[in-house]
Amino acid sequence: MSKKELRQYILEERCKLPEAYFKKANPLITQYLLSLPEYQKSQHLFCFKSMKREFNTDNFMEEANRDGKSLYLPRVISMKEGKMRLLSYQPGDPLEKAKFGALEPLRNQTEILAEAVDFVLLPCVTANTRGERLGYGGGFYDRFLDRSKAISVLVCFDALMFDDIPLDPHDHLADIVISEKGIFRR
């Protein structure tokens, strides 16, 4: 199955999952994230603001803020080139809707360089326990990981995991994968 076909298949499957599934899985994933020694040692977290039916990052970001972590969200500056800025965020800060529907920090927020981030939470459409990930196709996070030495953590609902992820040479593997079933390290 090609990346495009797999992406479409998983997104269709995600739409079929009942709301109760997300309500049960989200808090479990959040607990696993907060229990990571890598999270506890980190200071500069690069996260994403979840869209519908993704892992809900809100509770995780609120806890990270309470723990005194510095949070950053992406702001796309070039879809064509897959470039983004990492801008500061605190829960409750105003956000703008991007062209593709994601919520982004306002452009005047403080920026951090990829090299300064020590923990990144990666979004995905699907993944497996080996750290292989299929994203949304823009290449934003692979480009970020080219420049960063941050611990990369991938969150994926167990019902949407897929063992055979097609990979390209530029695709990065996540260091840690978390689903509601547990923590998987590669």
Q: Cβ distance 20 to 46 under 8 Å?
A: no
Residue 154 lies in domain: 3-185
Q: What is the pLDDT along the chain (186 residues), one digit of tens a residue?
A: 899 999 999 999 999 999 999 999 999 999 999 999 999 999 999 999 998 899 999 999 999 999 999 999 999 887 666 678 999 999 999 999 987 778 999 999 999 999 999 999 999 999 999 999 999 887 888 889 999 999 999 999 999 999 999 999 989 999 999 999 999 998
As for how many domains the chain has, the answer is 1
CA distance 84 to 13: 29
Q: Cβ distance 33 to 121 under 8 Å?
A: yes
pTM here is 0.93
Residue 96 pairs in a beta bridge with: 104
> What's 118's domain CATH number?
3.40.50.10420
Please report, as a single letter, which amino acid is at residue 40.
Q
Residues 6+ apart with CB under 8 A from 89: 47, 49, 61, 71, 72, 73, 95, 105, 109
Instruction: Break the chain down into helix, strand, coil percent, rounded to 5.
Output: 30, 25, 40
Return the pLDDT at 137.
82
